[in-house]
Amino acid sequence: MNRVIELLISAVIVISLTLFISRSIKLSTRYERKPQKLSDWNAQDQGIDPTQESESDR
């Protein structure tokens, strides 16, 4: 019985540490967001030439 309690306490400690570390080492969400409007720099990443005016800009 004593061995089972030690095992449960160890499991709780390991799970707690795992959850704490995984939450603290989270990547910033700024890399996952999509911009509302394409900037000239982001447009180039998608193959859009920002020097050419579109029909709606004229």
Whole-structure pTM value: 0.43
Greater confidence (15 vs 52) lies with 15
| Sequence spans of domains, the chain | 1-46
Q: Indicate if the pLDDT at residue 53 is higher than 80.
A: no
What letter would DSSP give residue 16? H
Higher pLDDT, 49 or 10: 10
Average pLDDT on 28-57 reads 70
Q: What pLDDT shows up at residue 44?
A: 79
According to the model, what pLDDT value does residue 56 have?
56
Q: DSSP string spanning 15-40?
A: HHHHHHHHHHTPPPGGGTPPPSS--H
